[in-house]
Structure 1
Amino acid sequence: MARSSHQDAMQGNRTEQLRCYLNASANANAYARIRSRRNNARQLQEQLEDNRNTFHHNKTEPDQDECEWIEINEEETIDPIDSIIEARKAQHQELAKQHNYSNMIETLHSVYMRLKFKTKNWAGLDASNDFRNCNCLPSKKIARLVDLVDISGQCRTLVKFCSCTKDTVTLLQLGYMAGSPMKPQTAFSMPLMIFHNHLWNHCHVGTMPFTMALRDYLKPRSQRLYAKDQSHPRDLRRPFTAAVDIFRRLEDMTDNLNFRYLQLTKQQILANVTCPACFGPQPPKINVFPQSTRDQLIICLDGNFQHRHHSKASRDHGRLHIPRVFLDPIEVEAAKKEIRWQEQLNNTPAQRDRCTESHKAADDKRNESTWKGCDNIGLMGCCCRHNAAVYFANIHKSREQRSLPMALINWLLEDLEPSRPVSILYDIGCSLDKFINAQALLSAHRLHIKFGTSIFHAYVHNWLCQLKYNPRFNTGWGLLDGEGLERMWSYLAPLVSPLRYATCSHCLGAIAHRLKFHNQRGIKQLRNSTTPLDVGWQKQRSFQSAHTQEEDKREKKLVKLYKEEAVLNHLRSRLQGPELFLATEEDLQELLDRITEKNKQLKRDAESLNRVNQSIDFVKQFPNQTIADFSGTLTYEIFSAMNLDNPFWNNRLYYHCKAPWAIDSNVCAGINCVLLLSRIQEEFQLIAQELSHAVGWAISYHQLLKSNIDYLQTLHSNVDSIQMVGMNRKNKIKCIARELHMRLFSHQTLVQDWSDDVRWLWGVCQPKENKQLINAWTELMDQVRSVRRGWGLEEDSGDLIDEDVEEAALNVDEDDGEDAEDDWVDEIGYTPANEEQRNNINNETEREVTDNLAAR
């Protein structure tokens, strides 16, 4: 009978069939290895049976020397297919966790918004109430031990959970934030989470020291939470970190929900979360400002390589949650592809750029060993004129390439009005400007964009580059130095070490949360720009008023005492002279040493005098060949102490020109003064426009909130597009209206704090054509005061505490020194200036005593 062979039909869809077809050879080899392994094991077993039957014919006779056979298998090599399967399993588990987390956070957010209003953000009297509303039978509920941690105590409690409500929602209804998305074993109270949020924003406290301090604080006040089957207390760091991430995610979701309901544009969102002075609505009479500063938006770009992240710190198989302030890596890749396409299209040869070569971070290959093992090696940031963070991007396994600033610029331009002019300050703004022109990038916005170099980097560039890109030498920049991101990196420096080995999601979330607080604080402090100057003026007045006639008399007595002390010192040295007594050998040696030292000093003085005489003779012979704004001997100390804007660096020696602007110090100083006055005038113009932006944003945002609150009370069609899990239409309307009421109250508090400063600054720098806007501001303030008075929020002046009495008592001997300033050092009794004055008095007194003794 003939042997027939047939091939089984492949099962599955077309994708699975193609995958099986492509992997047929690998699968066949794996199957062959498995069969050969089984055959070898079976043959080895049969061989052992044959040997046992050959050498042991009498099975009943015991053999004491018989040893037990040990089968030694060769170490099997790891098959690549097995590792791929394990990786796919881990990825599938991570994706499942991500899916469950997304479902959980949406349900939790709806309950969070409802309870936030009921408990007044967990600050009301009913904050500790039980808001569970499960009506299921007790048999369907499962009790589980959960460690509940509060700011005042901790305990291990039996909590009943039901399948109809997620565990995280049940704990939130009890007033606790879960320490894990699924089956949490630990939960932290909402007052504790809110307290940690404020503490983390202001004090840069880490999770480990905070949980350790909390454990030591709660240990004598409540139950001690032991680890499982251990005698030591639990480590709460990881569950607390997870609870913090969930809390921050809920806050971000609340902000996004309000933005979606209010239907804000991207620029309006930037005005709310970044800087209303830069991204607020356009002033009504914009044409009254000159063209150089009209509606000008100035931003700064810079990179930082401290915020590195190790690639093996986490395995993020799921979709990475990217906060609003961070660019998606897809945008950076799109900018990189656009640059490559333009380079291939234009086919321009590569040209050397001295500015780029001198910029270490732009093309630094020496620190690649430091970046080894890191997936994200730094941050590229963008901020506005007021140091508010706008957008950030991760530097992923590359240096500070042009694709990063290009991606940030493209993303920002999409959020702005099409015709708004944008000025960009960058360390190598000159190189980026030349590259964009050469490759014809940003063609749709090129007429509205100009570049410059930041102030402290501008002096590294050559003089021709400074003339074109230095903000001090060009119009439209004001007095901005362009170093706002340097201050931002210093502000974010405490996060470098804790986030280096954190997960990518936690790392991005922590930086975004810190930047969010930084921007909110900046919006509140927009009115505080003149406060330090006012405080300094008050201190100067008090210091000057303290120097009364009695103080002058005391200083005169002190000068007289210095003179008498100098007389005594001089007489003491004269009495020790060798002509008054029989000197010893040691005294003679000391006298010779003094004579030798004096001789050397006289020689040095003679050389210095000769150099001065030569300089004077040179000036007399060539009066037009002197160094600009400098006279005297040029020593190393004087040379190293010169400022970067000193005319010495721009001397005619480098121009090879004898024109007055090159050799006359007065002309050079006059040119710098004219340029500085122009920048000051531009600064006033920019401040006036930014004031209009901020006032216009405050008025429009208040009207938007109030109109939407009124709209919710009549029509409810706009809420259908907003997803809130577990809420019907009526509850959704109530929840959104409550959140808008809370934001309206917060906005009214902000504009009331701005009120006095806005009116003062408006009268200083605002043109008369914009009077309509200040009238609208006055109407808004009257409306805010009446509303707050109706709510009973206006405090009676008679009930206020007199802080001056407490300040007067604490200024005596209770001061921690945190508000000290550098100029206070000059106000103490002993300073270098006073020491120099004292030396001059001593020298003058010594000469007087010497003359008197010679006359006698």
Structure 2
Amino acid sequence: MFRRRTGIKVQRHFVYGRKGTYRQRPSRVLLYGSGNTGQTSACIPPVIINDAEQPIKDVEVEPQPARSSRHYERKQSELNDWMDATTTIDHALLGNWAPHSKNCKNCNAVLNTEFIRCLDCGPTVVYCHTCMATIHQHNVLHFPEVWTCNTFLPYSSGIKAVNTGHSSECGVSVWRIVNAFDDKGRCHHLNIKFCSCEEEVTTIIKLNLWPATAKCVKVAFSIELLKWMEVLLLECQVSTKGFCEALTLKNDLQPFEVNQLKELIRKETVFEFRHSYYKMRNISDDGTVCPACPKDGGTKFVSLDANFGLVRKKNSGHSLEPPKHENRYFVADGKVQEFVGHYNDCSSSKECHRFKAGDKVRSKSCSDKMDITGVFGCVCRHEFPIKFMNLQHGERLAYPVFLLHNLLSSAATDQHLNITYDIACVLFSHLKKEN
């Protein structure tokens, strides 16, 4: 017969198992009135309390400290290190406002009143007036600072003359003031000597600058600054306008300097720069050939499909120049439309009767407001782009047929093509019918 157990409290003790595992093993503590007091735990003896003699009391158990993880310990240690170094860092930052040395870096003369430092030359470099003018005669994009009123202020040297080495024997020379932005977005006023023996853009590029205009250059940008802007555009989706606003806040530019900086937005400067450096980076390889696919022989896997989300409206205007990449990836629209206009792609196939993307009658439902209704193209099995074309109709069978002709003409004679397509059954029946 089983008797009801009253007053049983469960207490957990921490024990170590095999291989260093840490687990909990429960043990029972009998407080009072147990029906089987002879069976007790091996770790803790039973505690029997008489109801008539003593009142019921709870057994107080000291809480075990929580075991912290190694990640928490590392983060806590790192936080303590930074808290200990806060005072030292503050003193070091304040110390940077004062000169680190009182001797000129070039002539080693002792400077008593005015110190001129240049952080572009080095963090602890200090010059006198004479050495600063001599050294920075060629380093025109450096930004020196002078120690005055117990702080460093910008050293105003006025307009900096830049002699490009042309003489009267070359041709007609002309000096013009050009506002140049260095790699940190700071504005410099340069008086550059141009000559009729070479184009102005050539003179600007020799100074490691990029002109804002192709003729009569008045604003130029550091090439490293434009490279940094391109990286932010591709990786962080920072627009050109946002990049200009960030430089304005960082360097506290004047209003007229801000207007000159916005030449990046109003002109074709950024597009021409990106295209020119794209060609420089791909001189030997234009980037259109997959390095993993077989070149001669073997089997090449190609996937075809259309994207109707890449549209272009008719009211978007027309480009004033031909495509910069010509036919590197996209086939000329004239060739595509000439083939599609004369090709008979009417399909009477019974396969995939619920999917009508390849039917010519279904493709007429495209909106008349669209100049380009989508993009059709193909990629290899390594997701490398091969060829694309603009669609001016729906997904007609003429487009994949034209793309197959293009792929077969560029493939090797002993190479096999395996084509994957969402309506491959319709395309296969059409090709079989048309021989």
TM-score band, normalised by shorter chain: 0.5 to 0.7
Judged with a 3 Å threshold, the aligned counterparts in structure 2 of structure 1 residues 151 and 251 are, in CA distance, closer, same or farther, namely: closer
**Which residue is equivalent to 2:299?**
296
Alignment of 1:804-815 (within 5 A): none
2:328 match: 324
Return the structure number with greater strand share.
2
Per-residue CA deviation, residues 451-507 of structure 1 (Å, 9 max, x unaligned), is xxxxxxxxxxxxxxxxxxxxxxxxxxxxxxxxxxxxxxxxxxxxxxxxxxxxxxxxx
Contact 2:229–2:240 at 8 Å: present in 1 too? no
Q: Does 1:248 align with 2:274?
A: yes
Find the partner of 2:348 among 335, 339, 351: 351
Residue pair 1:131, 1:173 contacting (<8 A) in 2 also: no
Which piece of structure 1 moves more, 243-252 or 299-308?
A: 243-252
Contact 2:171 2:196 in 1 (8 A): no
Aligned to 1:202, which of 230, 235, 242? 235
| 4+ residue runs over 6 A deviation | 125-131
State how far apart, in whole Å, the 1-side matches of 2:350 and 2:263 are.
Answer: 54
TM-score (norm 1): 0.29
Q: Do the aligned partners of 1:376 and 1:394 also contact (CA within 8 Å) in 2?
A: yes
Across the two proteins, how many residue pairs are aligned to each other? Answer: 275
The 3-state SS of whatever aligns with 1:433 is helix
1:151 alignment counterpart: 183
Counterparts of 1:334 and 1:366, CA distance in 2: 21
Give the corresponding residue for 1:422. Answer: 417
Partners of 1:192 and 1:235 in 2: CA distance: 14
Q: Quick check: 2:212–2:263 contact (8 Å CA) kept in 1?
A: no
Listed one character per residue, the Cα deviations across residues 434-454 of structure 1 (whole Å, up to 9, x for unaligned) are 2222222xxxxxxxxxxxxxx
Q: Which amino acid aligns with 2:277?
A: E
What is the TM-score when the length of structure 2 is the normalising length?
A: 0.54
Cα distance change on mapping 1:405 and 1:156 into 2, 3 Å: farther
Using the TM superposition, give the Cα deviation of residue 334 of structure 1 relative to its aligned residue in structure 2, in angstroms: 4.5
Q: After TM superposition, give the deviation of residue 428 of structure 1 in Å.
A: 1.4
In 2, Cα distance between the equivalents of 1:302 and 1:179?
40
How has the CA–CA distance of structure 1 residues 433 and 354 changed in structure 2, closer, same or farther, with 3 Å as cutoff?
Answer: closer
1:394 aligns with 2:390: yes
| Structure 1 residues 221-263: Cα deviation after superposition (integer angstroms, max 9, x where no partner) | xx42517xxx977534435x6222222322343466535xxxx
Query: Counterpart in 2 of 1:134?
Result: 166
**One of 199, 222, 225 as aligned partner of 1:189:** 222
Indicate whether 1:378 and 2:371 are aligned: no
Say if 1:423 and 1:176 are closer, same or farther in 2 by CA, change over 3 A.
same
Q: How far apart, in 1, do the equivalents of 2:432 and 2:139 lie?
A: 63
Letter in 2 for 1:165: E
* Aligned counterparts of 1:432 and 1:127: Cα–Cα separation in 2: 65
Partner of 1:431: 426
Structure 2 counterpart of 1:224, which letter?
Q
Q: Are 1:166 and 2:199 matched, yes or no?
A: yes
Distance 1:359 1:154, change over 3 A: farther
1:224 matched residue in structure 2: 254
Shift of 1:361: 8.2
Give 1 or 2: higher helix fraction. Answer: 1
Give the secondary-structure state (helix, strand or coil) at the position aligned to 1:355.
coil
Residue 145 of structure 1 deviates from its aligned partner by 3.7
The structure-2 alpha-carbon separation of the partners of 1:244 and 1:131, relative to structure 1 and needing over 3 Å to count, comes to farther
State the partner residue of 2:343. 339
**CA distances 1:382-416 after superposition (whole Å, capped 9, x unpaired):** 11111111122122x32222333233322222222
1:668-707 Cα shifts (integer Å, max 9, x gaps)? xxxxxxxxxxxxxxxxxxxxxxxxxxxxxxxxxxxxxxxx
Q: Tell me the secondary structure at the aligned position of residue 398 of structure 1.
A: coil
Structure with the bigger RCO (C-alpha within 8 Å, sep 6+) is 1
In structure 2, the gaps of 5 or more residues are 1-137, 143-161
Q: Distance in 2 between matches of 1:184 and 1:310?
A: 35
Provide the C-alpha distance between the structure 2 equivalents of 1:328 and 1:404, rounded to a whole number of angstroms.
Answer: 13
Given the superposition, is the C-alpha separation of residues 133 and 158 from structure 1 closer, same or farther in structure 2, using an over 3 Å criterion? closer
Distance 1:359 1:131 in 2: 69
Q: Percent identity?
A: 21
Distance verdict in 2 for CA 1:256–1:425, change over 3 Å: same
Residue 329 of structure 1, CA deviation: 1.8
8 Å contact kept, 1:335–1:406 = no
Deviation at 1:185, TM superposition (A): 3.6
Counterparts of residues 290-689 of structure 1 (less than 5 Å)? 295-321=298-324, 322-336=326-340, 339-340=343-344, 350-351=347-348, 353=350, 355=352, 358-360=355-357, 363-366=362-365, 368=367, 372=369, 374-395=370-391, 397-440=392-435
Query: What is the Cα deviation at residue 365 of structure 1?
Result: 4.9
Cα 1:379–1:147, aligned 2, differ >3 Å: closer, same or farther? farther
Instruction: Check the 8 A contact 2:164/2:193 in 1, yes or no.
Output: no
2:262 is aligned to 235
- Measured in 1, the distance between the counterparts of 2:272 and 2:230 equals 12
State whether residues 241 and 262 of structure 2, in contact with CA within 8 Å, keep that contact through their aligned partners in structure 1: no
**Which 5+ residue runs of structure 1 have no aligned equivalent?**
1-124, 260-268, 283-294, 344-348, 441-856
CA distance in 1, matches of 2:165, 2:337: 49
Deviation at 1:318, TM superposition (A): 4.5
